[in-house]
Structure 1
């Protein structure tokens, strides 16, 4: 065993100390960023409902004088599943590409926060795609009988950072080994 001392443990790379990292982003800024990004999701939803014909179906039902519940019952389930797929795939591409490129979605940029690698504070690169997948893809269940589970996971995932210490990570951060810091 040359070069190895029995009285010293081998060098192990540990998680960075909080003092070495940019300050963690406060929960209020993270929430504000998600609200802004939800506007992107809303635009995607509008595009998806128009593209699948769902929007037109609802408008025709409203013109007939159908109430909201009757309009919803008249929807074609295949169109709804397709619309959910378009929305969540679009959101995955939006978030994944922007996080991989510069660590910021439009919402994060607007409030001055970014996603960084936990190990060294660098841009997430391909890990931005992992983070986006864990955040967006459970929403695909929304158009299925398992939609409640997807929404429940999304709520638990989004609130996980409140009790997580010391890095205040959500589950999508843990999966990608990222943190959210001030830009």
Structure 2
């Protein structure tokens, strides 16, 4: 048997002690693991920014308004996509009756001047001739190019009025007089040109072009039955809501 001893330093590769499981490394004295629920820098690990503070520097739950609150103090216009109460922080929704009166006022503001201009330009001839009744004469007038021209003018005026008034301050004249306002559902802001135009088009185009009274009944039913924001189809299309100002 050889009396050679293994050289000092690194043990040989066939040393059986190297094949044993190594005990877990213990932290040096004085070091301690971070408390449960905190990361290595003392902040809660939840969220992409390492804690309750978002990129805007404040608030529990982050967000540009702090405390998850929108401009009305509850969330993004009442936290429509989450939260216990979707109406929390939102101004009171406009009553249907008040909205209806405001819409009638706006319609009259435009309809009366258009009717005066149409009659002054002989847009309709209500006299009868050749044995035709008044109803037949009106039917013929609706099928003339002149009537289609007046329909196009009416569409431009109604849609333009609603779009310009809504995008400027969220209020048509009827809504302003009755203390109502249109706001974006997401944050309560005044709708921009795109949402305002879309809202006005969905509201007025079917009403003036083909459906007349039927479309107003449909709009009324969607407002009454919509939960929780009382949105008509024009509101749903533009993602808006009508509240008290």
**TM surpasses 0.5:** yes
1:134 alignment counterpart: 202
Aligned-partner SS, 1:18: coil
For residues 50 and 160 of structure 1, do their structure 2 counterparts lie closer, same or farther at Cα, with a shift above 3 Å needed? same
TM-superposed deviation, 1:73:
4.1
> What do residues 115-158 of structure 1 show as CA deviations (whole Å, max 9, x unaligned)?
000011111122111111111111342xxxxx24x643342123
1:95 equivalent to 2:157? Answer no
- Which stretches of structure 1, 4 residues or more, deviate above 3 A after TM superposition? 50-53
2:97 alignment counterpart: 28
Aligned-partner SS, 2:219: helix
Residue from 80, 86, 105 that aligns with 1:15:
80
Residue from 164, 173, 179 that aligns with 2:226:
164
1:144 alignment counterpart: none
2:135 alignment counterpart: 69
Higher alpha-carbon deviation: 104-113 or 17-26: 17-26
Greater RCO (Cα-Cα under 8 Å, separation 6 or more): 1
TM-score (norm 2): 0.59
Residue from 62, 75, 81 that aligns with 2:148:
81
Give the number of the structure whose alpha-carbon radius of gyration is greater: 2
1:49 equivalent to 2:115? Answer no
Distance 1:80 1:48 in 2: 13
Aligned-partner SS, 1:19: coil
Distance 2:136 2:115 in 1: 20
TM-superposed deviation, 1:24:
0.5
TM-superposed deviation, 1:62:
6.6
Unaligned runs of 5+ in 1: 6-10, 142-146
Distance 2:201 2:123 in 1: 26
Check whether the contact 1:138–1:151 (CA below 8 A) recurs between aligned residues. no
Distance 1:109 1:62 in 2: 43
TM-superposed deviation, 1:179:
0.3
Distance 1:140 1:39 in 2: 14
For 1:101-140, what aligned pairs fall within 5 Å after superposition?
101-126=168-193, 127-140=195-208
CA RMSD for the aligned pairs?
2.9
Aligned-partner SS, 1:133: helix
Unaligned runs of 5+ in 2: 1-44, 48-61, 63-75
Aligned-partner SS, 1:54: coil
Check whether the contact 2:181–2:242 (CA below 8 A) recurs between aligned residues. yes
Distance 1:167 1:118 in 2: 9
